A = this chain, B = another copy of it.
Amino acid sequence: MPPPCWAPPTGFITPSPARPFFMTEPCDMSALEAAKAISDGHLTSEALVRSCLSRIETREPEVDAWSALDADAALAEARLRDASPTAGPLHGVPVGVKDVIDTAGLTTSYGSPIYDGHHPFADASCVALLRAAGMVVLGKTVTTEFANRHPGRTRNPHNPAHTPGGSSSGSAAAVACGMVPLGIGTQTGGSVIRPSAFCGVVGFKPTYGRVPRTGLKFLSESLDTIGVMARTVPDAAAFAAILEGTAVAALPELQGPPRIGVCRSPAWAEIERDGEAALRDASARFREAGAIISEVNLPRTFDDAPAAQMAIMAYEGARELAAEREQNWDQLSPALRQSIVEGLGISRERYDKARSTQAACRSSLSDAFGRIDVIVTPAAPGEAPLGVGSTGSASFNRIWTLIGAPCVTVPGLSGKRGLPIGTQFVGLPGQAAYTLACAHWAHGVLTR
């Protein structure tokens, strides 16, 4: 059985002085556990928020996960929840919202100095939906510039010399060190799965098009997907359902250990020794736990998938950011300017071809699922790289984002530096619930 709440996966990650686990603190509870405690009268939303704020006070100087935080407003919202009837299965639970998503009451800067002090008129749809479900917006979490490459100031909570990954850097780091039980992220290349893996949390990117994007600052409309960070798979599933505006349901029961297809993917040349060992280790444990393991070779259409994802992202990014490109060029980072120049250099024909590749890959993936239930593939090349100048490579994520497939990364393994390594599960578009169930099973196996 998976852990009821997020415990340090003993034996895989060495607990470090930089990551103290006060397991009795409310802020270390899983979201569903905390919500149950609130619903049962053993905890208040206010006490939970205070616990999170206290953890933030301790860890924020080193981790730097938050771009905007209004403790008084969060406590007021929590007290309002405590005074109101339960509105959903995560009633009273606070969340961190990636700062490319609008919040009416909190500065929303999209990781860019252009938007310093910007106050949107309205909440993004997903923020309104979580508030309507009785949840609390704790604050905004650091993003890279417009969710592109230029990093924010966040550091990996396991070791501040390392990147937390990106672009959803703050949400992953905050959830990892107990600052908040849930975070919202977005993924265009690998921006939910990679930081989740680097920070040792569960990351879930739903099927493309499921979470409404009103109030999300677009980087690439055909790819941008709102996802979540959590400490357990059921937490992630419940939170994502709320953001999608659908009923929260229990994960489907597996009929037995899943049939797992191990996929090296077109990015295999980038795998690091730690990443390779982790995939081998995970496969062995899954097999030991009863799973049927086979190797998956993706259809040949996928050979063009990495380049297609990069072309779509650059082409669309240069146009979605037209206002900033035309009116605020001097305030863009060199990395973003380069992305925009690249995007403007891509012909319409090349873009159309990339969109055709996207469609072809999406429809051909089901061929790979004939004899398997779910794909297992690395979440990243290995551990979080040293330094915070880059958020690492999205190579193991971009092909799945391209086709809009649901992706889940679960923690439980680590590399030679003691930093977390994620194991990524990928399902067919539209089959997120089943993919989550497989990932939940696997999380249990890896943290047993």
Contacts and interface: CB of A to CB of B under 8 A. Distances in A.
Interface in A316-360: 316, 318-327, 348, 352, 355
Interface residues of A, number: 43
A122 B323 contact: yes
Number of copies: 2
A424 to B, nearest CB: 24
A274 interface: no
A235 to B, nearest CB: 20
A319 B121 contact: no
A327 B128 contact: yes
Nearest to A120: B121
A214 interface: yes
A155 interface: no
Given A128-B322, A131-B326, A323-B122, A217 B214 contact: yes
A327 B127 CA distance: 12
A323 B125 contact: yes
B125 A320 contact: yes
A430 interface: yes
A22 interface: no
A218 B213 contact: yes
A276 interface: no
Interface string A236-249: 00000000111100
Nearest to A220: B212
Contacts of A430: 352
Contact of A125 (B124, B215, B245, B322): B322
A373 interface: no
Contacts of A246: 348
A115 interface: yes
A222 interface: yes
B213 A322 contact: no
A276 to B, nearest CB: 37
A123 interface: yes
A326 B320 CA distance: 28
Contact of A212 (B127, B128, B132, B316): B316
B212 A324 contact: no
Given A118-B121, A123-B323, A221 B217 contact: no
Contacts of A322: 123, 125-126, 128-129, 132, 212, 214, 245
A209 interface: yes
Contacts of A104: 323
Contacts of A218: 212-214
A123 B214 CA distance: 16
16 contacts: A118-B121, A124-B323, A125-B319, A128-B323, A128-B325, A128-B326, A129-B319, A132-B326, A212-B218, A212-B316, A212-B319, A213-B218, A214-B217, A214-B322, A245-B319, A245-B322
Given A126-B322, A128-B323, A212-B320, 11 more contacts: A115-B121, A120-B121, A123-B323, A123-B327, A125-B319, A129-B319, A131-B326, A212-B322, A213-B218, A244-B319, A245-B319
